[in-house]
Amino acid sequence: MKLDIVEALKTLLSSPQNIVIIPHKNPDGDAIGAALALNFYLKSTGHNTIVITPNDYPQFLKWMPGTNEVVNFEKENTTAVRSIEEATVIFTVDFNELGRIGHMVEVVEESPATFVMVDHHQSPADYATIMYSDVSMSSTCEMIFHMIVALGGLNLITNEMADCMYAGIVTDTGSFKYSSTTGKTHRVAATLIDKGAHSAEIHKNIFDTNTASRLHLLGCALKNMVILPEFSTAYITLSQEELDTHEFKKGDTEGFVNYGLTLDGIRFAVIFIENKEEGIIKISFRSEGSFSVNEFARKYFDGGGHTNAAGGKSNRSMEDTVHYFRTLLEDHKTELLA
């Protein structure tokens, strides 16, 4: 972590602040873990803090310490708006453009608070006064760990904070198997276990807990998979009707997109998921090697992310979205086969 950022943070936090911590919309384990760990740390150092999520998050993350205090902007709007208006400092974690917080942006961008970004995605926007942005990091939780240590808080890390940060690292590294995992990531994880993180339970909670309906939905997704060896690509579609039939709950489709990449010769995997309520098709992109799904998502699907994992959306119908996507494959054939 750069020294000037550490110094700016130390100065900012040298007196008690009203702090709002915001993860991105549809928060995953990294976003929620980072927000909760930071919340515990800032509270223990004398600040008045609150975590506000733009919307709800999956049940499989609700075991995390501190989740019962999280305020949902959609459901507890009055409390959320008041806290944002009274904030002197706003931490945004695990995203880097305010468009990622949905309608909450309308209240947040009016705030005179000092904004601090903690994030590991590419191409950060410049809304934050203090920007701790590092694309080499496995996860925002790993960054929160480095930040706490740089602020002199290593001894303040409790087992609850360790659980939260470990959960985020495990989420974003796919249990330490993605290429974003470094020796440093493992050293941080080791320290978190020493601090009391319940590693086996966390892996189970995040990756190995299922409902029958989710497994059947996975079966449906895999049946729908279209494999295009001529583009090294595999994609899955899930319509709203299919989701409804399988009693879809938030988080149920987490990880489905990765199956495409397990096929020999497939280097680009995509899942298109219809969301009738929002009138969009939500898309997840994954790649292996040099094909940048961040650039692809940014250019064609109003999204972004990392080189090998990104997301985006489409306002067209499923049929039109897939048709458009397939024309793009033609345009990118050389890169996909490189």
Q: Min. distance of Cβ 302 from ligand 5GP in angstroms?
A: 7
Q: Which of 9, 305, 314, 336 binds ligand 5GP (CB under 6 A)?
A: 305
Tell me which stretch binds ligand 5GP (CB under 6 A): 63-71, 133-141, 258-266, 306-314.
Answer: 306-314
Spatial CB neighbours of 97, under 8 Å, sequence gap ≥ 6? 124, 125, 127, 304
Structure-token pair, residue 179: 């290429």
Q: Which of 65, 124, 251, 312 binds ligand 5GP (CB under 6 A)?
A: 312
Residues 7-36 vs Mn ion: string with x where CB under 5 A?
-----------------------x------
270, 300 in Cβ contact below 8 A?
no
For position 304 contacting ligand 5GP by CB under 6 A, the verdict is yes
- Give the CA dihedral 312, 324, 260, 172, nearest 10 degrees: -10
Query: CB nearest ligand 5GP: which residue?
Result: 311
Q: Which does 267 bind (CB under 5 to 8 A by kind): ligand 5GP, Mn ion, none?
A: none
97, 27 in Cβ contact below 8 A?
no
Q: Min. distance of Cβ 158 from ligand 5GP in angstroms?
A: 27
Q: Min. distance of Cβ 86 from ligand 5GP in angstroms?
A: 28
Q: Min. distance of Cβ 258 from Mn ion in angstroms?
A: 16
Q: Min. distance of Cβ 119 from Mn ion in angstroms?
A: 8
Q: Min. distance of Cβ 83 from ligand 5GP in angstroms?
A: 24
Tally the residues of the chain: 338
159, 197 in Cβ contact below 8 A?
yes
- Give the CA dihedral 21, 280, 247, 272, nearest 10 degrees: -100
Nearest residue (CB) to ligand 5GP, 49 versus 138: 138
Spatial separation of the C-alpha atoms in residues 15 and 6, rounded to whole Å: 15
Nearest to 14 by CA among 40, 45, 48: 45
Q: Min. distance of Cβ 311 from Mn ion in angstroms?
A: 11
For 190, 194, 202, 246, the CA distances from 163, given in Å and listed in that order, are 12, 11, 8, 31
Q: Which of 172, 252, 254, 274 binds Mn ion (CB under 5 A)?
A: 172
Q: Min. distance of Cβ 2 from ligand 5GP in angstroms?
A: 22
Nearest residue (CB) to ligand 5GP, 34 versus 52: 34
DSSP state of 230: G
**What one-letter code names the amino acid at 43?**
K
Dmax of the chain from CA atoms? 60
Tell me which stretch binds ligand 5GP (CB under 6 A): 13-21, 43-51, 80-88, 304-312.
Answer: 304-312
Q: Which does 124 bind (CB under 5 to 8 A by kind): Mn ion, ligand 5GP, none?
A: none
For position 313 contacting ligand 5GP by CB under 6 A, the verdict is yes
Q: Within 66-105, which residues bind Mn ion (CB under 5 A)?
A: 94
| 3 state SS of 191 | helix
Query: What does R_g of the chain's alpha carbons equal in angstroms?
Result: 20
What H or E segment, with its residue span, contains residue 236? strand 233-238
Q: Which of 310, 314, 321, 336 binds ligand 5GP (CB under 6 A)?
A: 310
182, 138 in Cβ contact below 8 A?
yes
Spatial separation of the C-alpha atoms in residues 233 and 226, rounded to whole Å: 8
Q: Which does 274 bind (CB under 5 to 8 A by kind): ligand 5GP, Mn ion, none?
A: none
Q: Min. distance of Cβ 334 from Mn ion in angstroms?
A: 30
For position 142 contacting Mn ion by CB under 5 A, the verdict is no
Spatial separation of the C-alpha atoms in residues 117 and 198, rounded to whole Å: 28
The residue ranges that bind Mn ion (CB under 5 A) are 30, 94, 139-140, 172
The residue ranges that bind ligand 5GP (CB under 6 A) are 24, 100, 121, 284, 303-306, 309-313
